[in-house]
């Protein structure tokens, strides 16, 4: 991912830096890492993604094996609090998805050069989707028509309806549909009562 200064369009050279963000299953969140400086931000013992770093900058601790990096990195990285950008494939095109942080313009250039296929969003969820979350939809194969059953059995009172309920109870004969945020998954592994 690119981290960019607020004046990355015409502010001169050196207005962008590269980092990476990775999904942590253990933390159930995105985490920013700067491999060039072997450094990452934390707050209250929890690693942060880049927008959290910007939002909590005054309360962030940086972790690196280098004392020099720990001294110099906070000032260095704060120069790039304007925008974050990453490439995405959308409808057969490479889109430069950009999230303004302290920058407020939809820039059309980077370091005075043309910036093709830039798309701007203010929604952090566009940038930080939850991964490895699955929604399970249950669809019963055989559905009962309540109004037809009431008519067929001539149910007229609430007491008759309550007595009839055991015949209506849903039978566990259904189809499961799994909706996942990782499109490339080819299959699912299911554990029944795996929490026990």
The dihedral formed by the CA atoms of 91, 96, 102 and 103, expressed in degrees to the nearest 10? -100
Q: Check residue 17 and give its pLDDT.
A: 97
Per-residue pLDDT at 183:
67
The rounded distance, in Å, linking the Cα atoms of 115 and 124 is 22
pLDDT at 9: 92
Would you give the DSSP letter of residue 58? G
177 phi and psi angles, rounded to 5 deg:
-115, 125
Mean per-residue pLDDT pooled into runs of 10, the chain (196 residues): 94 94 93 97 97 97 96 97 90 86 90 86 84 75 81 88 80 79 71 76
Looking at the DSSP bridge assignments, the partners of residue 2 are 18, 85
Give 180's contacts (C-beta < 8 A, 6+ positions apart). Answer: 133, 134, 135, 188
């Amino acid at each position: 991912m690119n981290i960019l200064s607020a004046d990355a369009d015409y502010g001169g050279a050196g207005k962008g830096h590269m980092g990476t963000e990775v999904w942590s299953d253990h933390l159930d969140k995105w985490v920013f890492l700067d491999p060039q400086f072997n450094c990452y931000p934390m707050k209250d013992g929890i690693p942060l993604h880049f927008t959290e770093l910007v939002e909590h900058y005054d309360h962030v601790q940086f972790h690196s094996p280098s004392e020099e990096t720990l001294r110099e990195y906070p000032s260095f990285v704060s120069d790039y609090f304007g925008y974050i950008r990453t490439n995405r494939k959308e409808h057969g095109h490479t889109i430069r998805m950009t999230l303004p942080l302290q920058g407020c313009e939809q820039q059309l250039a980077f370091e005075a050069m043309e910036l093709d296929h830039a798309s701007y969003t203010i929604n952090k969820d566009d940038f930080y989707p939850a991964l490895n979350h699955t929604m399970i939809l249950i669809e019963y194969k055989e559905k009962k028509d309540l109004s037809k059953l009431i008519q067929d059995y001539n149910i007229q009172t609430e007491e008759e309806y309550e007595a009839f309920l055991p015949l209506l109870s849903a039978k566990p004969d259904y189809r499961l549909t799994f909706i996942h945020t990782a499109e490339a998954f080819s299959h699912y592994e299911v554990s029944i009562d795996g929490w026990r």
